[in-house]
Each structure stands twice: as structure tokens, then as C-alpha cells.
Amino acid sequence: MIAPDLTVPIPDEIRAVHFIGIGGSGVSGLARMFLQAGIPVSGSDRAESQNTRDLAELGATVFIGHDAANLGDVDTVVYTGAIWPENPEFLAAKERGLSVLHRSQALKYLIDGRRLVSVAGAHGKTTSAGMIVTALAGLGTDPSFVNGGVIQQFGASSRAGSDDLFVIEADESDGTFLIYDTSVALITNVDADHLDHYGTHEAFDDAFVTFADAAREAVVISADDEGARRVGARLRHERVITFGESADADLRIEFDAEGAADLVWQGERVALRLAVPGRHNVVNAAGAVAVLVALGHEFAGAVRALEGFAGTVRRFELHGVRRGVSVYDDYAHHPTEVRAALEAARTVVGGGRVIALHQPHTYSRTKLMAGEFAHVLEEFADHSVVLDVYGAREDPIPGVTGELVERGFEDPAHVSYVPDWQAAAERAAEVAQDGDFIVTLGCGNVYQIIPQVLDALQREE
């Protein structure tokens, strides 16, 4: 993993750019934006994917595999923390004296002084940013955006709009969210999931305080999340808008006995009816509406515009139904996110059951949180099938496998540790009955098991 070097100056003009890891969810969106700006784009990745194919169709030169020769005659190279320091393209770019920018710096180059909405927080960033962008379009504006996931209404994770507004998912994991000149900051929560970078909870909180107080116009922050309340108490900003179920929230959520929600702002009450399920999405929606109000939009109109949000790819996304079993995919890779995804499934599964197909993400997180994952999976899923760890940028840690999660279950009858993907797909299909949901969970490549799951269900039928 490479720590971002933010001391590297961002050039005034980029004439041709190469992306290392161009197929990644965030980097592919950046590459698309550079293409839309008329800047020649090349890039490389370890394997072909839909993102690499799409970018090639748009005009990017895409290489499969990393090689110094791939750089050609570019003047700028963009990298992420997911690559290794020994990457041959990264080393060659340094040796040639090219501008070597972290992806956050490339994004800052694109923003170029526009009115910026930055969404930060351990959970809910992608959905919240997608909600803001969708609602802004419904309100007649045309914002630019770069998001961590594909927004269903646009069929893309990024787009260059004609208005002055720019909406981004700002990454707090490595501190790069501090480099942007933000107008409205949204903090969904402050859950210290990146202490490998910050070292202490106090340093993590300090970064959020700096991020929020630097916002030019307003700060929108959760009134319910413990970490957000801790940060909020330290803010000196002149305009802070809180949202949530707390009685002291400025924009308050009120649920009725059936789970339907109203939003209340300055005495005005509006019913919220979302197309996406889950209590957590109501909370995300409240934060998005608060941002729209901070931008100057009328409250009721903002709520109505947001109700058209159809979701983002890999956020409780339905992939198919076989013999009455619905197969969904969700990006959840932290215990809080897993709980939210499974609770959302429960709100729509009716009398059916929820079967989780969980892929732990990174060895360090699995070692630290295996017990928390087990507790959440056992409480909110009827049965869990656990795969092995998706290591991402990390080297394996001896003894850290998906079996650690299995061992954390109090009742072993509720969990199956199945490292072989075909066997795991067959196990999930074996457990599932008519009316059940199977939900794949993880931000690695677990979604690629879905065809095997659908096929196993089909064969059993």
C-alpha cells in the first residue's frame, strides 16, 4: 500500500493522463471524467472488467497487466493506495519525473474551484451522494459528480454537468478529504474504521473537525451517531445542521409503528416515501435533504425530488430470482453496514428468511472484527455462509481466514464456513427456500459468485 504524497504539486494543465488500476470503482469514474474533458486517457489493471471494457469503448487505451512501457508519452500518472510501492508503472513515472498524483489530487484538478458538496463518513457515503445528485437533477440542476458507485438513474459513477455544483464522495480513510475546498460538508457518521492511518481515535476525530470547520457554507452532520455528536460538539462553524431521530436534531426523522417516516424541518412535516428499503436509507435521505436545504432548496420540494432515487449499484441490488429465491448483492464490509443491509432485507422479505453469503474484507479488519461480524450475522441473518478473506492490498496474516467469523457464532448450526466458491453457492442454494433472500456481502469480488448461486438454485429446481 502506498501512502498518498499530497506535497506533490497539481499541475495547472494535464495534457495526457495514465491511471494505475483504471478498473477500480473510484478510479474508473475519474478516468471517465477526464475523457469527458477531452483529455487523452490510458490505464492499466490486473484483469479485464466491465469498467475497463466501458472505458475502452469511450476511447481510453487500456492495458491488462502493469508494465513501465504502458506509460507512453503521458505527462501525468494517477495512483491509489491500493497499489504496491514496487508497481513498475509507479516506479517508472517517478524515474521519468512525471507528475505522479494521488487520485484525490486528480479529483481536485477536475473540481477546479466549483461549488463543492463533500460527503464523508465510514458508512453511507455512496448512497448519500447518489441521493443528493439524483435529487439535484430532479430539482432542475445539472451537477457534476464523482461517486464510489454507479448511480442507477445515470448508469455511471461520474458525470460532467453543466452547473457550478460538484458532488463527491470524500474519502476520510487516508486523510485526503482534507485537501478539497468544500462548500457544504456532509458527515454521515464518525466510525473509526481507519486507525491504521490515523493511529488513535482522537486523531480520527481531529480530522473530521478540521474537515467540517473548513466548509465555506455549511456543515450537515448526524445527530444520532455517537462519533458525529462527539465531533459536532467541537465545531466552531457558524452554520451546522444536524439530522436524525434525536429530539434535538434540526432536521428530525419520525417513524410510525409501521416503519414509515416523516421528516420535520422548522415545524414543517413532510412524509418520506423512498423507493429503496431500509431504516438506514431513511437516515441517509435525511442527511441528503439537509444538504439540499443548505444549498438553498425548499424543504418539501427537496424531499419529493429525493424520492425518485432508485439506488446505487452494489447497494442491496437485485440480480435475479430462481425458484422463488431472490438473490441480492450489497457492498457492506463493516459490521455496521452488514447490519444495515440485513435489516433492509428484513423489511422487504416478508415471511421469508435471509441467508447471508459473507466475504470478509482484508485480513487486518477480519482479525480485529471477526467477533463483531459473527454477532451481527447471527442476529440478523437466518443462516450465514462465510467465504475466505478478500485480501485487497494486504498480505495474508497467518491463521486469519473466514473460519474466524464462523468460530464467533454462538450456535454453529446458523453458519457454514465454505472457502470453495462453488461449494458455497451450492450450500446457500441448499439452505434457501421459496420466498427467501440470499444476500452477498462484501466490497471485494464476492458479487462474482452470483451466477454460481443462481445456477445452483436453477439446478435444484
Chain-centre distance for alpha carbon 190: 15
Count of positions (residues) in the chain:
461
Question: Grid coordinates standing for 231?
Answer: 465531533
Is 367 marked active-site? no
For helices 335-349 and 279-294, the axis angle rounded to 10 degrees is: 110
The secondary structure of 288-352, three-state, reads HHHHHHHCCCCHHHHHHHHCCCCCECCCCEEEEEECCEEEEEECCCCHHHHHHHHHHHHHHHCCC
- What are the backbone angles phi and psi of residue 156, rounded to the nearest 5°? -155, 160
- What are the backbone angles phi and psi of residue 420, rounded to the nearest 5°? -75, 125
Q: Exactly one of 52, 89, 108, 169 is catalytic; which is it?
A: 169
Q: How far apart are CA 131 and CA 123, in angstroms?
A: 14
Residue 446: HSE in the Cβ half-sphere, 13 Å Cα cutoff: 32
Q: How far apart are CA 40 and CA 381, in angstroms?
A: 47
Is 126 marked active-site? yes
Q: CA quadruple 382, 366, 440, 134: dihedral positive or negative?
A: positive
Nearest to 165 by CA among 322, 291, 3, 305: 291
Q: How far apart are CA 405 and CA 359, in angstroms?
A: 10
Nearest to 183 by CA among 207, 166, 160, 159: 166
Q: Going along 170-260, which residue ranges are E strands?
A: 184-187, 218-222, 240-244, 251-255
Q: Exactly one of 76, 89, 108, 125 is catalytic; which is it?
A: 125
Is 169 marked active-site? yes
Q: How far apart are CA 212 and CA 200, in angstroms?
A: 19
The burial of 403, by beta-carbon neighbours within 10 Å (0-12 exposed, 13-18 middle, 19 or more buried), is given as middle
User: What's the distance, Cα to Cα, between the start and end of the chain in Å?
Assistant: 45
Other beta carbons within 10 angstroms of residue 348's beta carbon come to 14
- What are the backbone angles phi and psi of residue 365, rounded to the nearest 5°? -65, -40
Q: Exactly one of 52, 80, 126, 127 is catalytic; which is it?
A: 126
Catalytic residue numbers read 125-126, 169
